[in-house]
Chain A
């Protein structure tokens, strides 16, 4: 219960921060810019073709939803990677602020367990990420729907998967913040994890192109520990384009992300429990 209170307080703090509201305004401005600037025409009918900024995307005439697949795939990748990058920049300050001198002492003197403080922070940031990504993705889909007449809500699933990916990245950021109380270090750790997670998704292809040796062995070991964020983004894109997704593969990637998050959070809690302030 206290975890929920901590999470709710984090959301309250976010809404009270001017720069955070500014980021919300920025998303809205971006969406409004798309409303005015995006030239996307779909010829209505049983069969259709798509013209994006005056150029026909593919020459052949196909059903409208098929013709729009590249647009939805692009939107899905934008939501996945853009959302994660946006989230790690916007949320890098929360855990270091929680642990700031004068605040953490006060919080620890209250009847809240240490793990509840970290759990609440993680939950609050995840909720914030979900609200932001659903707002951005929802807005984008409304614009695409209004402009093309094709209403495809699948990219919202991409937003949810992007939040799973962001949660994985944020668990590492939280761990780094507990170890070193710095927003810059936390953001850098998040960026590194995002990069590593992207590489890990293409692990098999990269390993196939590497020669046998310690370098290959080190990459295999290291990338095996990283969450496959790019696989998650690929799966989200496939879902958005209504293309088949291997349930087993997606389940495996989600389990891997869950395992990585749980391990990072467990380490963070273990260190936080024994830490002096």
Chain B
């Protein structure tokens, strides 16, 4: 399988040269491989090393140890970086410029023709067509974020690396951004998103990595991470009294469903048998799933 991004054994330590402060380990041997066309979400608490990891991926910071391959090449190679779109966490934009001038400058540095019609279409795509004649200095945080996203999309990059893409964007705007990123995925682009908005990550990404204290503590498909291995969600036919079910080890879940913990199939069937003997009729059975917030909390607790 062709990889969009491959990091192996990434170590990064920030040293303090003055005032004798202790050195800080930002990354401690991170290994990660992301196939092309995947939407990958990187989550973790503040100071986990997410932004440092992104900077090492793009050649903005130098890893102390380990290697990075981006779209099959080195991130230090300008030809490889030309195929990548990046939105930094706090994008600094020239306040006195207008959006078209800024996008034109980015396009030229990417080695592309800065055609105004194409740049206007890009502004329209990110919902900034009305602000195209205003100076960037007068933009709201959300508008700046949209402009940064437009800059990242210049040249239809094969890999999009987005650090907090919806930070400061209003709820409706987030929906627009999500649709736009979904369109990029359909085009075949690979998405690498770092965000604290877990609901956004959950809706957009199919693979998740959890970074904590510079280590990738969990990584895999979203569905797999959110699946509760030992817990099942059960629905019974209406009219069944609750007391016998609770006595049989079932507990309440959302919307009239029940949860049962079972370590294996025999355990599960024994519990269902108890419910059936109490007069309950099974109508639905599925593995219980957790949301990303629960997964993150549990993973961080375990890794600590």
- Is there an interface contact between B91 and A111, defined as CB atoms closer than 8 Å? no
Q: Distance (Å) between the CB of B264 and the closest chain A CB? A: 49
For the complex, give the distance between the alpha carbons of A107 and B92 in Å: 10
**Contact present for B90 and A101 (CB under 8 Å):** yes
Please tell me if the beta carbons of A110 and B109 are within 8 angstroms of each other in the complex: yes
Residue contact B94 to A13, C-beta cutoff 8 Å: yes
Give CA–CA (A105, B51) in the complex, Å: 11
User: Chain A interface: which of B59-67, B198-206, B222-230?
Assistant: B59-67
The reply to whether the CB of B101 lies closer than 8 angstroms to some CB of chain A is yes
A108 neighbours in B (Cβ, 8 Å)? 58-60
Interface residue from A12, A13, A16, A111 paired with B109 (Cβ < 8 Å): A111
Are the CB atoms of B60 and A276 closer together than 8 Å? yes
B4 at interface by CB-CB < 8 Å: no
The listed residue (A5, A106, A107) touching B108 by CB distance below 8 A is: A5
Q: Is B240 an interface residue (CB 8 A)?
A: no
Q: What mask results when residues 120 to 153 of chain B are scored 1 for a CB within 8 Å of chain A, else 0?
A: 0000000000000000000000000000100100
- 1/0 contact trace for B56-96 toward A, CB 8 Å? 00111110000000000000001101101010111111101
Chain A contacts for B82, CB-based, 8 A: 110-111
Q: What is the chain A residue whose CB lies nearest that of B135?
A: A16
Q: Which residues of A contact B218 (CB under 8 A)?
A: none
Is there a chain B Cβ closer than 8 Å to A274's Cβ? yes
Which residue of A12, A104, A274 is within 8 Å of B105 (Cβ)? A12
A102 within 8 A of B: yes
CB distance from A238 to the nearest CB of B (A): 41
Cβ A106 vs Cβ B91 within 8 A: yes
A276 touches B94 (CB 8 A): no
B88 in contact with A16 (CB, 8 Å): no
Interface bits A46-66 vs B (CB < 8 Å: 1, else 0): 000000000000000000000
Nearest neighbor of A2 in chain B, beta-carbon distance: B109
Q: How far is the CB of A25 from chain B (nearest CB, A)?
A: 16
Interface assignment of A211: CB less than 8 Å from any CB of chain B: no
A9 close to B (CB within 8 Å): yes
Residues of B within 8 A of A13 (CB): 94, 96-97
Is B110 interfacial (CB 8 A cutoff)? yes
Q: Report B143 CB to chain A, min CB distance, Å.
A: 15
- Asked whether, in the complex, the Cβ of B81 is within 8 Å of the Cβ of A109, the reply is yes
Name the CB-closest residue of A to B94. Answer: A13
**Number of chain A residues close to chain B: CB under 8 A:** 26
Residue of B60, B89, B91, B101 touching A277 (CB-CB under 8 A): B60
Are the CB atoms of A100 and B60 closer together than 8 Å? no
A109 touches B84 (CB 8 A): yes
A1-44 Cβ-contact flags toward B at 8 Å (1 or 0): 01001100100110011100000000000000000000000000
Q: In the assembled complex, how far is the CB of residue B103 from the closest CB belonging to chain A, in whole angstroms? A: 12
Contact of A276 among B55, B105, B106 (CB under 8 A): B55
**Known contacts being A110-B81, A113-B78, is A276 close to B62, with CB within 8 Å?**
yes
**Complex interface bits, B206-228 against A, C-beta within 8 A gives 1, otherwise 0:** 00000000000000000000000
**A112 near B109 (CB under 8 angstroms)?**
yes
CA A104 – CA B60 in complex, angstroms? 9
Q: Which of B4-63 contact A (CB under 8 A)?
A: 14, 55, 58-62
Contact A106 B88 (CB under 8 A): yes
As a 0/1 sequence over residues 105 to 129 of chain A, the CB contacts with chain B under 8 angstroms (1 = contact) are 1111111110000000000000000
Nearest A residue to B79, CB-CB: A111
Q: What is the bound-complex CA distance between A107 and B105, given in angstroms?
A: 11
**Residues of A with C-beta under 8 A to B58:** 105, 108-109
**Residues in chain B near residue A6, CB distance under 8 A:** 109
Contact call B61/A277, Cβ cutoff below 8 A: yes
Provide the residues of chain A in CB contact with B93, threshold 8 Å.
103
Q: Shortest distance in angstroms between A202's beta carbon and chain B's nearest beta carbon? A: 37
Let me know if A274 and B62 touch, CB within 8 A. Answer: yes
B81 neighbours in A (Cβ, 8 Å): 109-111
User: What are 29 A-B pairs at a CB distance below 8 A?
Assistant: A2-B109, A5-B105, A9-B108, A9-B109, A13-B94, A13-B97, A17-B96, A100-B92, A101-B90, A102-B88, A102-B89, A102-B91, A102-B92, A105-B58, A105-B86, A105-B88, A106-B148, A107-B109, A109-B84, A109-B88, A110-B106, A111-B79, A111-B81, A111-B82, A111-B109, A276-B14, A276-B55, A277-B55, A277-B60
Closest 9 CB pairs of A and B: A102-B92, A16-B96, A111-B78, A109-B86, A103-B92, A111-B82, A276-B61, A102-B90, A105-B88
